[in-house]
Amino acid sequence: MRFLYGDSTPFSLGYNFLSTLEAFMTASTRIVQLDHESRMLTRQTEEIAQTRMKGLEALDQFHTVVMRAVRDTAQKVQHAHALEYAQQVAGFASRHVEEHKRNAVASNEREAAHARTESERSLTEQRALLEGFLKVARLPVLRTRVSGRLLVEGKDARYQVSAVYENPDAIETAFTLTTHKAPSWSAPRKVSEFFQGLDLMVGVDKSWLRGTVTPKQINVDEWIITQFDLSEDAFELTLRRKLTEKDALSFRLRRSEGGLSGVVENGGRRRPTPSTARSPRKTSRRWSASGRPSRSLRARSPSTKSNSSPSASTERPCSKTGSS
């Protein structure tokens, strides 16, 4: 469907912007109102508390002056009745001042707690309105990132996946996805479910007699995907032969103006492990294929970012190390 301006000029964004504008106005006007009411309540509470404290200071000063005058007068009279009267007045006045202080402090604390409660309620409603707007609004997306990590809890293993959208004006929206509608992501997935016959020069052979280390080609079809991070210009993937093993293979691809470059990290080795040579065109195809399952999860699945710390890595242009 095409969307046009009033003069039949095509609308550049290609979607019904008026519905987004309507959702924005509905949410924003209520958010502004809630924010104004919350600020006004906080300001009024602070002003009333300050007025009470000033009143307490004035009462305390007045009490001090009166008590001094009563004591001085009682000492001049030098009579038991006068001294008793002065003591009774001083006791009553002191109790009155202390009670007034307690009431003022209690009122300030009670009203401050009420203001905090109302502020939290207002923030909760504002957050709900903003989330509701972001769910229905169509905002231009500048950059997308989908991340996932395999969580292992005892005998259970499941993927946690999330998607992050970067929008104009420094707006970033993040979504935690579920696997209810994508049961294949509710259990560990192997490389063979996406690629078959994938042999990579990422292993090493050690010669104990000659003391040399040579590259070794291994097949990763049965390796398990434990982590991925996919965006328009970067792709990271971590594989493990078994979930119980610590050794892992990590692949990182970067797309820049100079082309594609990649890094292969072998966490169980001390030396860099070169990858199999492959053309950038094949690398791009594998990158695109890797993105398809991740994109299918955006409306359904989970995510968490995980940083590995391998002990060996190698980095080369993809024209030489396309598999990395």
Give per-residue burial for 75-94: e unless 16+ CB within 10 Å, then b.
eeeeeeeeeeebeeebeebe
**Lowest-pLDDT range, 155-159, 207-211, 220-224, 278-282?**
278-282
Confidence of residue 14 (pLDDT cuts 50, 70, 90): low
* Cα distance between residue 29 and residue 21, in whole Å: 12
230 shares a domain with 185: yes
**Residue 149 pLDDT > 80:** yes
The domain boundary residue, chosen from 121, 136, 151: 136
Kindly report the three-state secondary structure assignment for every residue of the chain.
Answer: CCCECCCCCECCCCCCHHHHHHHHHHHHHHHHHHHHHHHHHHHHHHHHHHHHHHHHHHHHHHHHHHHHHHHHHHHHHCCHHHHHHHHHHHHHHHHHHHHHHHHHHHHHHHHHHHHHHHHHHHHHHHHHHHHHHHHHCCCCCCEEEEEEEEEEECCEEEEEEEEEEEECCCEEEEEEECCCCCHHHHCCCEHHHCCCCCEEEEEEEEECCCCEEEEEEEECCCCEEEEEEEECCEEEEEEECCCCCCCCEEEEEEEECCEEEEEEEECCCCCCCCCCCCCHHHHHHHHHHHHHHHHHCCCCCCECCCCCCCCCEEEEECCCCCCC
The answer to whether the beta carbons of residues 199 and 217 sit under 8 Å apart is yes
Domain-located, residue 71: yes
* Cα distance between residue 222 and residue 193, in whole Å: 9
Domain-located, residue 97: yes
Q: Taking residues 152-177, what's their average pLDDT?
A: 84
**Residue 238 pLDDT > 70:** yes
Domain-located, residue 271: yes
Q: What per-residue confidence (pLDDT) applies to 1? A: 65
Torsion sign across C-alpha atoms 131, 132, 135, 137: negative
Domain-located, residue 1: no
The domain boundary residue, chosen from 136, 170, 196: 136
- Residue 159 is which amino acid? Y
**Structure tokens, 284:** 């791009």
**Structure tokens, 59:** 């009462």
179 shares a domain with 129: no
Q: What per-residue confidence (pLDDT) applies to 255? A: 86
Q: What per-residue confidence (pLDDT) applies to 256? A: 85
Work out the mean pLDDT of the chain and round it to a whole number.
78
Q: What per-residue confidence (pLDDT) applies to 267? A: 63
Q: How far is CA 50 from the centre of its chain?
A: 38
The answer to whether the beta carbons of residues 313 and 236 sit under 8 Å apart is no
CA distances to 67, 103, 140, 277 from 61, rounded to whole Å, are 10, 18, 64, 88
For residue 250, how many other CB atoms are within 10 A of its CB? 22
Confidence of residue 313 (pLDDT cuts 50, 70, 90): very low
- Select the highest-mean-pLDDT range: 26-30, 146-150, 250-254: 26-30
Q: Among residues 159, 156, 148, 164, which one has the least CA distance to residue 183?
A: 159
Domain-located, residue 323: no
Domain-located, residue 52: yes
Q: Taking residues 69-76, what's their average pLDDT?
A: 85
Q: Taking residues 171-195, what's their average pLDDT?
A: 84
Q: What per-residue confidence (pLDDT) applies to 137? A: 81
Domain-located, residue 186: yes
Which residues, other chains included, contact 94 with Cβ-Cβ below 8 Å and sequence gap of 6+?
63
Q: What per-residue confidence (pLDDT) applies to 273? A: 39
Task: Determine the Cα angle at 218 with ends 213 and 221, to 5°.
Answer: 160
**Residue 296 pLDDT > 80:** no
Domain-located, residue 322: no
> pLDDT per residue over 54-67, tens digit each?
999 999 999 999 99
Number of domains in the chain: 2
- Domain hosting 66: range is 17-136
Confidence of residue 272 (pLDDT cuts 50, 70, 90): very low
Residue with tokens 């000659």: 210
* Cα distance between residue 236 and residue 14, in whole Å: 32
The domain boundary residue, chosen from 86, 120, 136: 136
Q: Among residues 121, 128, 133, which one has the least CA distance to residue 167?
A: 133
Which of 296 and 121 is assigned the larger pLDDT? 121
> pLDDT per residue over 79-120, tens digit each?
888 888 888 898 999 999 999 999 999 999 999 999 999 999
Q: Taking residues 237-265, what's their average pLDDT?
A: 84
